[in-house]
Structure 1
Amino acid sequence: MNFSYLFLALAIVSEVVATTSLSASNGLTRLWPSVTMVAGYGLAFVCLAFSLKTIPIGIAYAIWSGAGIILIAATGWYLYRQTLDWPAIIGLSLIVAGISIMQMFSANARL
């Protein structure tokens, strides 16, 4: 069984946790959010590296960064009450559309 997309999903979740912790670290002045941030980014890159064994780098990075952007925007909205205006919502929707099109129609995205 190919676990590449599972590793990619773990990389995305780890990156979102790390970025959220980066915000909570208050400029790296709070210990535990800072430690969580370092561990999260470390795990994210390790998982991304494992996913690249079979997923082309352009596909993996597009999914990783696009999904990360969407999840970070959602996390900022939910945890920090950061509002999203219409241009932001439209832009995020275009990211989702781009990732979806790539996954559905790109021969390189299929394993």
Structure 2
Amino acid sequence: MHVFTEAQRVLDFQNACEAQDLPLMGKLMNESHESCRDLYDCSCPELDATVAACRAAGCIGARLTGAGWGGCVVALVDAEKKAEIASKLDVLFWSEPAAGISLTYL
């Protein structure tokens, strides 16, 4: 069930990105983490606590990244709240949005 619902979330996330809909992007990230945790069983209490801390600090959305169990979380932050959130979390690194990749079909 996780795989099917995650596939739809990926499509929905792409549409939200194109629409610059940060609240929807965050909602989808949160749903993704919950699905990874509850349906795919690839989270752990430490990751769940880190995701919860990100959300409590004001991140728009947060989810585990990679295959889980590795202790990595990616969070979506409104650039205007970066300093506020940075004061509440021990952030390993910040990244900026990228244009993404371009594919050419032959």
Tell which has more relative contact order, 1 or 2 (C-alpha 8 A, sep 6+). 1
**Which has more radius of gyration?**
1
Q: TM-score scaled by structure 1?
A: 0.34
| Bigger proportion of residues as strand | 2
Higher helix share: 1
